[in-house]
Amino acid sequence: MSRSVWKGPFVDGYLLKKADESQKSGRKEVIKIWSRRSTILPQFVGLTFGVYNGRKFIPVLVTESMVGHKFGEFSPTRTFLGHAADRRAKRA
């Protein structure tokens, strides 16, 4: 059964504080966080977090479609280095 609605989404308190500070300052910065378990909230859209995967910080640029997911989903702990072949990267 999923988490009860009355409880609300879980977010670590320190992360909310850091995100608020970053939004108020208006600086472009990457907020380094360790809380992979926190839910991505709508107020995080547009911010870039560096989510720790146990070795390094993976940059996560939050978009609307990511709201409701956990930060850890976008920062894999095991990396497979595939072949480049004809793969493309798009600069956002």
Residue carrying the six token digits 């095991």? 78
Nearer to another protein, 39 or 75 (CB): 75
12 binds another protein (CB under 8 A): yes
Give least dist CB 8 to another protein, A.
Answer: 20
Give least dist CB 5 to another protein, A.
Answer: 26
* Distance between CA atoms of residues 22 and 40, nearest Å: 15
Q: 87-90 contacts: CB < 8 A, separation 24 or more?
A: none
H or E segment to which residue 20 belongs: helix 13-25
* Distance between CA atoms of residues 12 and 41, nearest Å: 11
Give least dist CB 89 to another protein, A.
Answer: 4
Interface residue with another protein, options 8, 46, 68, 76 (CB under 8 A): 76
Amino acid at 15: L
Residues of the shown chain interacting with another protein in the complex, contacts defined by CB under 8 A: 12, 14, 27-30, 32, 34, 48, 55-63, 66, 73-76, 79, 81-92
